[in-house]
Structure formats: structure tokens, C-alpha cells
Amino acid sequence: MNRFTGKVALVTGASRGIGLGIAERLVAEGAQVCITARKPEALEAAVDQLGGKEHAIAVAGKADNADHQADAVAQTISAYGRLDILVNNTGINPVFGPMLDTDMAAIRKVFDVNVFAALGWAKQAYDAWMDRNGGAIVNISSIAGTKPAPGLGAYAVSKAALIHLTSQLALELAPKIRVNAVAPAVVKTMFATALYEGREAEVAEAYALQRLGVPSDIAGAVAFLASDDSSWITGQTLVIDGGVSLTGGV
């Protein structure tokens, strides 16, 4: 399929894992993409994996830095002439344990990256292109944002906020811009290693489909929500969890 021929996307946190998987899917369907992350070397390798600068560029920086956001959006439009799709994939989870035992500064940082950065990227894309030309925004939330998650309180609450931000922006930016989200369960990436390493089979037993997710599982859903195939869908969060919620798992 070539659903994204002539379209341009920006995917944050895309040097590896889910973000890179999303960028790969968009490029495979004809898009040109800008990928962002903190480490230039990893981004350079990812651009090569995506087929080089004809298909992808990279801009290194911190996702919650407003200057980086503006620069990445400007470089995307300079390189490819437009910005049709924004995928807010960057997320952090540096703390584990009860929220009242967690350093408040660490919780603020989680919200800065997982919530406020997504809003900042959306504003930059809106101001630079989407206000006049329309577009689609897809936020990467988490199944942890749909109900309390033991030990993952700060992360879970931030992802719940991202789900609500998705519906709020969908209302405010309609009809020209659609805003949706996906909420994955455990996906086999470096980010989620601590949740399954050394006990993958045991963890997968809780999933109706008897396996954990892989980045391509999320990429396919994001591509659908970013494409015209979902042109009558906005403000929704699609849970992608291999059926773990059917068994009461997180």
C-alpha cells in the first residue's frame, strides 16, 4: 500500500523500538519522515535503516525542550515541504514504587516528557503547518493509562493524562486535524525490558494471544490512525494489548 505517498511525518523517540517501527511502516507506505531522539549516533543509524535522507532525516534533542521541538518541525518542513502527521512517541518511566514515596521532581519530569512535550509538539506542528493544511496526530499512550498500575503510578497517571489530552485536542482541532492515541500493553523493546526479561513466557501467559507485542504491532495501528482509512475517527484511544485486559492484567 502507498497510503502516505506525498505525505510527511514527524515521529518522536524514534531511534529504536516502537518509534523506529512506526517510522519504518510510514516509510514503507510512501511517507518521508523526520525522526527525533536524544542521541545523534543512534539517529544516524536509524536514518540509514530507513533508507537514507531521501526517505528520512533526524534531529537530535530532548523531547520536552521547546527549542528542539521548533527546530525539528522547521527542519522537517525545510527538507520535505510539509508536515502531515505527528506521532508523539517519546515517553519515560524512570521511577518505580508508590507515588507518595517518589521524588516529586522525578514525577514532574515524567509529566514534562510524557504529557507536556506531546502538547508542545502538537502546538509546533499546528503553528507551522497543520492549522492551514490539516493533518493527523497520533499519541502513544499505554494500557497503564487505562487503570491503576502497581509500582508504575507516575507513568500510569501521565499516560492517563495523555489519553485525556488526546480527546481534548481532538475536540479543539476538529475538523481539519484528527487526534487519536494507541495504548499498548508490554511490547518487546529496550524500554520495557524490565517487565519481561528472563520471564517472557511467564508474562505472556496472561495474554489471550499468548505473546507479548512487537513494534510492528503498534506501527500498523498507528499507520491506520494516521491514514485516510480512519478519516471519520478522532478523539479515540485504541488499546493494543494481545488480550491481556480480558484476563484482568495490566
Please give the Cα distance from 1 to 219 (Å, whole number).
Answer: 14
AA identity, residue 24 = E
Spatial strand order in the sheet of 177-184: 56-60, 32-37, 8-11, 85-88, 135-140, 177-184, 237-240
Residue 62 · residue 38 · CB < 8 Å: yes
Coil, strand or helix at 8 = strand
Q: How far apart are CA 239 and CA 236, in angstroms?
A: 10
**CA distance linking residue 81 with residue 79, whole number of Å:** 6
Grid coordinates representing 93 are 518511566
Considering the candidates 126, 155, 196, 207, report the single residue annotated as catalytic. 155
Active site residue 155: yes
How far, in whole angstroms, is CA 132 from its chain's centroid?
24
- Alpha helix ranges (H) inside the chain: 17-28, 40-49, 66-80, 104-111, 117-125, 131-133, 153-173, 200-204, 215-226
Name, in order, each residue with C-beta under 8 angstroms of 29's C-beta and a sequence gap of 6 or more.
Answer: 1, 2, 3, 4, 5, 223, 227
Q: Which residues are catalytic?
A: 155
